[in-house]
Structure 1
């Protein structure tokens, strides 16, 4: 399975070894950015800002340290023959775009068709956080979630929809407020059967 994950390139951690700087070096980088922005990192209000930013980055980008395989690795086979769609919708997440490192805020809707086993519902929400807490594009996170569900659980089908607001559009550049980006992707039976896609969309929109 490791070979499959590495070849597909969406589930594994970054393939290139990343040498992380020390906390002191990271804090110095934040000081440099404060100076570049035009402020004084030695004034009272900013004295502890570098330390706070580095601490927050550990949480905001914790997805690099987590494994989708571990989260989805525990499944349950005692499902009394249930084989219909399982949908978890309105999973809130916060991410950062890889182009400007500005926030992306949205909701994920994930459905799968079990093939003899199911996974705990909270694990699906955790999976979203793993990929969200990395530098991302919305297209990538949509595909990564679908690939993780498809490769690790091996269900009959997977459907993913993400709706998100991008601060790089509303805070800078064209500064368009209230615009929402929607991405979808389908695997297995959802990709092959348009009726399953319609049912997924209906369940997401109307319950």
Structure 2
């Protein structure tokens, strides 16, 4: 059975979400002066740039933006057969005593963010480390929570959240891809378990 796709955020919703996040960052940090943004590659990077551009429109201040590749910091990197494709980490500013905002497209298990935290600490000791994500889809495996969320989208663990951005994909949208085969198997398993329970 093929997967089903739902568009859960279009370009307007993404734009509004990022504008709101920019305002929330400014309010929470009492302005832009101590703020730096670090986007996790690949789609966290253009999101960080967009948030920075919105902050500049509001405050007239350019907020530093860095890029981060967390491939070698993941806790599962040594357990995979394929070697990760390492991209560049580009942080050309001090993080010491700054309010560092990590920016990513989707928050899922929390392992990507945990890897980002490990890498940032290698650059110095920030005043705070905060997290901004376009989508929080739940199913955390680590005690990590986003400070700024564009949209909370309920998902099954087998679903895929596909973020497409104009800078990378030629269009802005977030699609939720349902794995109908996995969902059907889950329902069958629950039904069998329920039937077994009733027979006891």
Q: Name the TM-score, length of structure 2 as normaliser.
A: 0.23
Q: Per chain length, whose mean CA-contact separation is higher, i.e. which structure has more relative contact order (CA < 8 Å, sep 6+)? A: 2
Q: Name the TM-score, length of structure 1 as normaliser.
A: 0.22
